Amino acid sequence: MNTSGEGYLLRIFIGESDRHDHHPLYESIVLKARAAGLSGATVYRGMMGFGKNSTLHTTKILRLSEDLPIVIEIVDSLEAVENFLPRLDEMIADGLVTLEKIKVIHYRA
C-alpha cells in the first residue's frame, strides 16, 4: 500500500569539518531534527565539490581533503520544516540551505 501527498525537502550544504559544540555539525543537526520530531534525516558525504570560495574539495589520493562536502536532507511538512529553521540559525555559521516543495510517496506493508 502506498499513500502520497505534499511535503517539503530541506537540504543543508555544509563542510565535513564544520563543528557545533565540539561535535560534527552534521551530527548535531540530525540529532536536533530527531529531537524536534521531524520525519527523518539523511546525511550524504560528497566525493567532490566547491562552494562560494571556489576551493575544490575532493577524495582524490593526491588531494585528500579533510573537509569534504556534506549534504543533509530532511523531508517533512512545511510547518515542521519552518519550525526547525531557527535551530539551524543557531548552529550553522557557514553553509547553504534550500527548501523545495515535493511530492511524497509513502510505501508501507
Q: Where are the alpha helices (DSSP H) in 1-109?
A: 25-35, 78-91
Q: What are phi and psi of 7, to 5 degrees?
A: -150, 180
E strands within 18-108? 19-20, 23-24, 41-45, 48-50, 56-58, 69-76, 96-107
pLDDT one digit per residue (tens) for the chain, 109 residues: 678 899 999 999 999 999 999 999 999 999 999 999 999 999 999 887 777 777 767 766 555 566 789 999 999 999 999 999 999 999 999 999 999 999 999 898 8
Q: For each of the domains in the chain, give its residue range(s) and CATH number, in order of start.
A: 2-107 (3.30.70.120)
Task: Look up residue 41 and give its three cell numbers.
Answer: 534525516
With contact defined as beta carbons under 8 Å apart, do 8 and 107 qualify? no
| pLDDT at residue 20, as a whole number | 96
Per DSSP, what are the bridge partners of residue 48?
A: 58
| pLDDT at residue 62, as a whole number | 57
